[in-house]
Amino acid sequence: MQETKEILTAYKEVRKNADVSHANTLSYKIGVLLSSVKRRGVAATLKKIFLYLSFYLRGVDLSSENLTDLTRVGEHKDRGTAYLQNSYEVIDSVIKEVEKLDKDIKKGVFIDYGSGKGLPLIIAQKHGFKKVIGVEFAKELCEVSIENMKKMNIKNYEILNMDAAEYDPPIDTSFVFLFNPFDEVVMQKVAKKITADKERYIRDVYVVYLNPTCNFVFVNDKENFQFIKSLIFETGEVCNIFKVKRS
């Protein structure tokens, strides 16, 4: 992973309602493992295989899902991206990076906007966050993530089946996680909700945006967001870290 002070924009576009069923095929998974061997070597790839095997053995479901097959709530049903399983290592490194910026970050609440089947929530709990909250508009994904939380013995969590654009984060929020979940219409509303009453927050709030397709929402709002840094992963994925500006 490299880091830069220059703001980077994701190479991927928001692919609303994209078909992601190919990501569940054996040939796709073999392709991912082969490219991992090329990039990171055999030892790191074996570690990854064992990690996902441990999820599999506990019955944790992280398979990708097309949005069109799911029951979605709210007025932005066609403005979201499909549930695509994220990489454990990428989320883990992103959390570690923010921990370097603020050692007390874990004393606050971790929120994943568009939380899918809950992998980032599981990882954040392992990092010791006081509480993790998933906001997800697809009913079936909420149900699977609740089952996944039980199977991973995650205690202090909340899964909210709602449109992210409607959500008011709690005063003890410290970490906002976004993995390219929706388009700019929803992102503008989410950014407004995050900063609507920002002086009420009891600690610093970091916004961590992986594959930041709507980066401009945060970059252009200089009154409310301070750009901290960009991270680039071996996979080509980009992550931008912002901090909510307060007086």
Ligand X SMILES: C[S@@+](CC[C@H](N)C(=O)[O-])C[C@H]1O[C@@H](n2cnc3c(N)ncnc32)[C@H](O)[C@@H]1O
Give the residue from 175, 226, 165, 173 showing the smallest Cα distance to 200: 173
The answer for 44, left when phi > 0, alpha when psi is -120 to 50, beta otherwise, is: alpha
Comparison of 131 and 226: residue with beta carbon closer to ligand X: 131
Q: Which of residues 151-170 bind ligand X (CB under 6 A)?
A: 163-165
Instruction: Give the binding-site size for ligand X (rule: CB under 6 A).
Output: 27
Figure out which of the listed residues 88, 157, 182, 225 binds ligand X, where binding follows CB under 6 A: 182
Does 136 sit near ligand X (CB under 6 A)? yes
Please state the φ and ψ torsions of residue 35, each to the nearest 5 degrees.
-70, -30
Give the residue from 143, 133, 31, 35 showing the smallest Cα distance to 83: 143
Comparison of 89 and 136: residue with beta carbon closer to ligand X: 136
How far does CA 90 lie from the centroid of its chain? Answer: 10
- DSSP state, residue 14: P
Q: Which stretch binds ligand X (CB under 6 A): 25-33, 75-83, 142-150, 215-223?
A: 75-83
Q: Which of residues 1-60 bind ligand X (CB under 6 A)?
A: none
- Strand-pair partners of 232: 2, 238
Figure out which of the listed residues 124, 138, 142, 149 binds ligand X, where binding follows CB under 6 A: 138
Comparison of 185 and 202: residue with beta carbon closer to ligand X: 185
Is residue 92 within 8 A of residue 123, CB to CB? The reply is yes
Does 119 sit near ligand X (CB under 6 A)? yes
Rounded distance, CA 44 to CA 75, Å?
42
Q: Which stretch binds ligand X (CB under 6 A): 35-43, 98-106, 111-119, 149-157?
A: 111-119
Comparison of 54 and 71: residue with beta carbon closer to ligand X: 71
Contacts of 56 (CB under 8 A, 6+ apart): none
Figure out which of the listed residues 109, 123, 141, 176 binds ligand X, where binding follows CB under 6 A: 141
Is residue 226 within 8 A of residue 245, CB to CB? The reply is yes
Provide the residue type at 154 as one letter: I
CB of 32 to ligand X, least distance (A): 15
Sites of contact with ligand X (CB under 6 A): 67, 74, 76, 80-81, 83-84, 86, 112, 114-116, 119-120, 135-138, 141, 163-165, 179-182, 186
